[in-house]
Amino acid sequence: MKNHLLRPLWCILAAIALILIARHFMVPDDFGVHGKGFTYGFHRLSNVKEWQDFKVKYRGREYCRECHEEKVEKSNSSRHRAIQCENCHGPAVDHPDDPETLAIDTGRGLCLRCHAALPYPDNPRSQIISIDNAEHNPDTDCSECHDPHNPDREEG
């Protein structure tokens, strides 16, 4: 064979060898197929314990109901019923052990995530009441006039 054919062949063989050597050192020994209960077949067996020990960050509305039943009921009867508490209040990972973890953001940016005016009339988000941030009380937090747990009513 001529050199112009052998050089690329040797480069390809060297690359394959490097990949196999790197794989030997980088892939954990417990990686592989460990039963049919795993969607894609391959996983690290020790990873199951890691996920069992993983601290839950979001706890859901029922967790909030234990202490804040009136707020949850108020929210459930409003247009915000589809929004989980932690979407606005943040993950309840260490609450109530550390109440400051759920510091409430009263800034306009939080409300504007859903209520910013969008120029897309065919988008389902256009059904959400939108505001023009520059026109609608620009120097005021939304919660000064609107109760986020019951946005259908303005606070007096």
Split at pLDDT 50, 70, 90, the class of 120 is confident
The DSSP secondary structure of 82-139, one letter per residue, reads GS-HHHHH---TTTTTSGGGG----SHHHHHHHHB--S-TTSGGGGS--B-TTTS-TT
- Specify the pTM: 0.57
Q: Where are the domains of the chain?
A: 3-53, 61-154
Report pLDDT digits (tens) over 42-67. Answer: 677 777 788 888 888 888 898 899 88
CA neighbor of 133 nearest in space, from 114, 120, 152: 114
Structure tokens at 42: 């391959």
pLDDT at 51: 81
Residue 3, H or E segment: helix 3-26
Helix (H, G, I), strand (E, B) or coil at 75: helix
pLDDT at 19: 96
Residue showing tokens 């707020």 = 71
pLDDT at 80: 87
Report pLDDT digits (tens) over 123-150. Answer: 887 788 888 889 999 888 988 888 888 8
